[in-house]
């Protein structure tokens, strides 16, 4: 289920949007946006806090705290309901389009009477928006892009939402009498970036008690279908979950079958046919006699087909069958292989937690090293100055001494870095002399997303060629379902990274998962190295790393491809593009 914190964060963000739509105080809208981020990133369950406890969260004042308490008491907030009533439903529907802001949505509604995405798309094709002030061909192109994003996302949810719900259900069903095994399968097990529905498998001799318990889960809003082999429900958040109960001795075959993908399963079934076998969710059978040959484990099923066990993240029919037959399947990088996180933020810029809390949380994760990379001054909204970053560096060095145990084994080294902004011409924050003082630099594009393809490509390549840039952060800048990837010649960027010794980030935030798995496969062929980072802006975000690792696996990466699986000495050599840094820098 969604965390109560996420529910409140979405409500406060909606309130901020409603304030903007109605022409309210821009400062007030910004206050609620900040509060939404702070509550979404808070580690404790806000539903269990009173007004006093809520006010201890940064950026949450008394009025906001009272609204949060009201929400959990009544299921709604009167101030939000009042503003919703002032906004036509059509405008609210238009604001769901990722690239359309609330003010433009209101203008479209008021001037043209448009209230649906279909009407808006028709109006754009008829060039009716161009008569409105502030609208032109580029605006139309961006809105159409946004409509496409909205339509493609459909009823799919981000992986963290699906994972949270699936793990809750698995935990609940595992406690039901008669359940011998329980796990999620499908696209979630393959770590797809968005999930359409959740597949849960249970191994049990008697399915009825499991099916009954499933329909009685607290977040069920509708029972779509109820049977002995399969029951489907819809949750209160609209996500469909399918439960299948299989005999215990069919567990392996069922997990292989229901994990998919469809294309992978077609290939394995074809292999079975060539061996005069039949593969189904119940097992691998002899075609002539009907005798069950294997079914208890996935390893048994794959072995009988002449294959090694294939990790779920590789099961997309992208060469894994052929690699398995040749004995050349990669050993995918694992979360336990990650020795440190190289892209994180504190409340010095747009993070939510102080430096000390972020470092302590990283140490609890067992990292060998950990980097703080707050934003540079070119992002003016972050209020960064030379003095502030140097003061942070001094404190980082103190924490490095404390957590690093002065070089003894078992400690964690704390690195001081920065996330630089790649400007429109490829320049980054600070002078080369100032950048010499950082242990590493991540560089990312945060603006001017609509530059032409050639200009954007030159911008990225120039950043790669900067001897102080070690990692290109969230390389395509996409936000899943909200903002498309920039139009850039990725192969040119990949070649520049390989040539200059610049790593590409796999940003683990569920909103980003950038690079995509398809891009990783291409970049790897260029010889690029990668960094799997959380881009954490709060302590709880550090755990997002699991999604980045899953994406790296889908891109066939091994731990040798990922620089933050390396020992610190090897990592430092890679980061030293200028040849000037010392081991203790």
The span from the CA of 69 to the CA of 62, in Å, is 11
Q: Which residue, 370, 482, 365, 378, is CA-closest to 420?
A: 378
CA 488 to chain centre: 21
φ, ψ of residue 511 to 5 degrees: the values are -70, -20
Query: 545-554 and 159-174 are packed helices; what angle lies between their axes, rounded to 10 degrees?
Result: 100
Q: Which residues contact 46 (CB under 8 A, 6 or more apart)?
A: 4, 5, 8, 39, 54, 57, 68
H helices of 25-61, in order, are 26-40, 51-55
Site of tokens 């040798």:
560
98, 149 contact by CB (below 8 A):
yes
- In Å, what is the CA distance from 212 to each residue of 228, 292, 373? 10, 30, 50
**Domains in the chain, please, with CATH?**
4-153 (1.10.150.110), 157-246 (3.30.460.10), 262-326 (3.30.210.10), 335-575 (3.20.20.140)
Task: Give the pLDDT confidence score for residue 157 in this predicted structure.
Answer: 87
370, 363 contact by CB (below 8 A):
yes
H helices of 216-288, in order, are 251-259, 262-274
The span from the CA of 143 to the CA of 175, in Å, is 48
The span from the CA of 1 to the CA of 162, in Å, is 8
The span from the CA of 414 to the CA of 417, in Å, is 10
Task: Give the pLDDT confidence score for residue 406 in this predicted structure.
Answer: 47
The Cβ of residue 120 has, within 10 Å, a number of other Cβ atoms equal to: 27
80, 11 contact by CB (below 8 A):
yes
The span from the CA of 354 to the CA of 366, in Å, is 19
The span from the CA of 562 to the CA of 504, in Å, is 9
Task: Give the pLDDT confidence score for residue 154 in this predicted structure.
Answer: 60
First vs last Cα of the chain: how many Å apart? 44
Task: Give the pLDDT confidence score for residue 45 in this predicted structure.
Answer: 85
pLDDT (tens, 9 = 90+) of the chain, 585 residues, equals 557 888 888 888 888 888 877 777 778 888 888 888 888 878 778 888 888 888 888 888 889 988 899 888 888 888 888 887 877 777 767 777 777 777 788 788 878 888 787 888 888 887 788 778 878 777 777 788 777 766 665 668 899 999 999 999 999 999 999 999 999 999 999 999 999 899 999 999 999 999 999 999 988 889 999 988 999 999 877 789 999 999 999 999 999 999 999 999 999 999 999 999 999 999 999 999 999 998 899 999 999 999 999 999 999 999 999 999 999 999 999 999 999 999 999 999 989 899 999 999 999 999 999 999 999 998 766 688 999 999 999 999 999 999 987 445 569 999 999 999 999 999 999 999 999 999 999 999 999 998 999 999 999 999 999 999 999 999 999 999 888 899 999 999 999 999 999 999 999 999 999 999 999 999 999 999 999 999 999 999 999 999 999 999 999 999 999 999 999 999 999 999 866 544 444
Task: Give the pLDDT confidence score for residue 582 in this predicted structure.
Answer: 44
H or E stretch covering 18? helix 4-21
* DSSP codes, 342-396: --B--TTTT-SS-HHHHHHHHHHTT-SEEEEEEE-TTSGGG---HHHHHHHHHHH
Task: Give the pLDDT confidence score for residue 465 in this predicted structure.
Answer: 97
Cα angle, residue 382 at apex, residues 377 and 387 outer, rounded to 5°: 55
* DSSP codes, 448-474: -TTS-HHHHHHHHHHHHHSTT--EE-S
Task: Give the pLDDT confidence score for residue 366 in this predicted structure.
Answer: 95
**Residue 334 region by backbone torsions, left for phi larger than 0, else alpha for psi between -120 and 50, else beta:** beta
The span from the CA of 135 to the CA of 112, in Å, is 13
Q: Which residues contact 139 (CB under 8 A, 6 or more apart)?
A: 104, 129
The span from the CA of 260 to the CA of 231, in Å, is 19
Q: Which residue, 46, 141, 148, 170, is CA-closest to 97?
A: 148
Task: Give the pLDDT confidence score for residue 579 in this predicted structure.
Answer: 65
Q: Which residues contact 281 (CB under 8 A, 6 or more apart)?
A: 244, 246, 250, 253, 254, 257, 258
352, 41 contact by CB (below 8 A):
yes
Task: Give the pLDDT confidence score for residue 151 in this predicted structure.
Answer: 66
H or E stretch covering 231? strand 230-235
H or E stretch covering 200? strand 197-203
Task: Give the pLDDT confidence score for residue 409 in this predicted structure.
Answer: 59
Q: Which residue, 518, 534, 450, 523, is CA-closest to 488?
A: 450
The span from the CA of 124 to the CA of 137, in Å, is 9
The span from the CA of 259 to the CA of 315, in Å, is 8
How big is the chain, counted in residues? 585
The span from the CA of 97 to the CA of 147, in Å, is 6
- In Å, what is the CA distance from 280 to each residue of 94, 253, 258, 295, 316? 45, 7, 10, 9, 18
The span from the CA of 511 to the CA of 40, in Å, is 13
Q: Which residues contact 546 (CB under 8 A, 6 or more apart)?
A: 335, 508
């Amino acid at each position: 289920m969604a965390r109560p914190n996420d529910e409140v964060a979405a409500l406060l963000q909606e309130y901020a949007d409603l304030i903007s739509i109605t022409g309210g105080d821009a400062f007030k809208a910004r206050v609620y946006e900040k509060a939404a981020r702070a509550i979404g990133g808070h580690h404790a369950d806000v539903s269990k806090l009173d007004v006093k406890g809520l006010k201890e969260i940064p950026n949450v004042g008394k009025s906001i705290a009272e609204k949060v308490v009201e929400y959990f008491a009544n299921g709604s907030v009167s101030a939000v309901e009042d503003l919703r009533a002032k906004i036509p439903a059509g405008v609210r529907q238009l604001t769901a389009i990722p690239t359309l802001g609330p003010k433009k949505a209101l203008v479209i509604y008021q001037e043209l009477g448009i209230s649906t995405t279909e009407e808006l798309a028709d109006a754009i094709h008829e060039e009716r928006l161009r008569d409105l002030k502030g609208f032109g061909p580029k605006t139309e192109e961006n809105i159409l892009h946004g409509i496409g994003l909205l339509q493609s996302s459909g009823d799919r949810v981000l992986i963290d939402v699906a994972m949270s719900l699936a793990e809750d259900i698995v935990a609940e069903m595992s406690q039901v009498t008669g359940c011998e095994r329980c796990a999620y399968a499908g696209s979630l097990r393959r770590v797809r970036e968005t999930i359409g529905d959740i597949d849960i498998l249970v191994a049990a001799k008697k399915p009825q008690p499991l099916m009954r318990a499933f329909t009685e889960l607290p977040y069920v809003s509708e029972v779509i279908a109820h049977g002995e082999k399969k029951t489907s429900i819809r949750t209160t958040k609209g996500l469909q979950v399918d439960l299948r109960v299989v005999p215990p001795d069919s567990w392996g075959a069922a997990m292989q079958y229901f994990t998919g993908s469809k294309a992978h399963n077609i290939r394995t079934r074809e292999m079975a046919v060539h061996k005069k076998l039949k593969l189904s969710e119940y097992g691998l059978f002899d075609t002539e006699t009907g005798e069950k040959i294997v079914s208890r484990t996935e390893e048994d099923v794959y072995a009988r087909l002449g294959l090694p066990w294939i990790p779920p993240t590789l099961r997309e029919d992208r060469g894994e069958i052929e690699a398995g037959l040749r004995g050349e399947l990669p050993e995918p990088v694992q979360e336990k292989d990650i020795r440190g996180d190289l892209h994180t933020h504190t409340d010095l810029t747009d993070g939510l937690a102080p430096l000390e809390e972020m470092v302590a949380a990283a140490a609890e994760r067992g990292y060998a090293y950990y980097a703080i990379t707050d934003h540079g001054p070119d992002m003016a909204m972050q209020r960064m100055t030379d003095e502030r970053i140097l003061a942070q560096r001094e404190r980082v060095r103190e924490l490095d001494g404390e957590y690093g145990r002065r070089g003894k084994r078992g400690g964690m080294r704390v690195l001081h870095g920065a996330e630089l902004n790649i400007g429109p011409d490829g320049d980054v924050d600070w002078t080369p002399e100032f950048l010499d003082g950082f242990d590493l630099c991540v560089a990312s594009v945060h603006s001017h997303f609509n530059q032409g393809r050639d200009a954007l490509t030159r911008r990225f390549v120039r950043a790669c060629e900067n001897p102080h840039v070690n990692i290109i952060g969230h390389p395509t800048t996409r936000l899943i379902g909200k903002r498309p990837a920039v139009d850039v010649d990725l192969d040119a960027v990949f070649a520049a990274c390989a040539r200059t010794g610049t790593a590409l980030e796999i940003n683990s935030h569920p909103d980003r998962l950038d690079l995509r798995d398809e891009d990783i496969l291409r970049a790897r062929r260029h010889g690029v190295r990668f960094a799997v980072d959380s881009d954490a802006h709060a302590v709880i975000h550090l755990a997002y790393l699991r999604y980045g690792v899953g994406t790296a696996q889908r891109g066939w990466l091994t731990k040798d491809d990922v620089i933050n699986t390396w020992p610190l000495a090897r990592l430092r050599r890679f980061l030293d593009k200028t040849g000037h840094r010392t081991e203790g820098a």
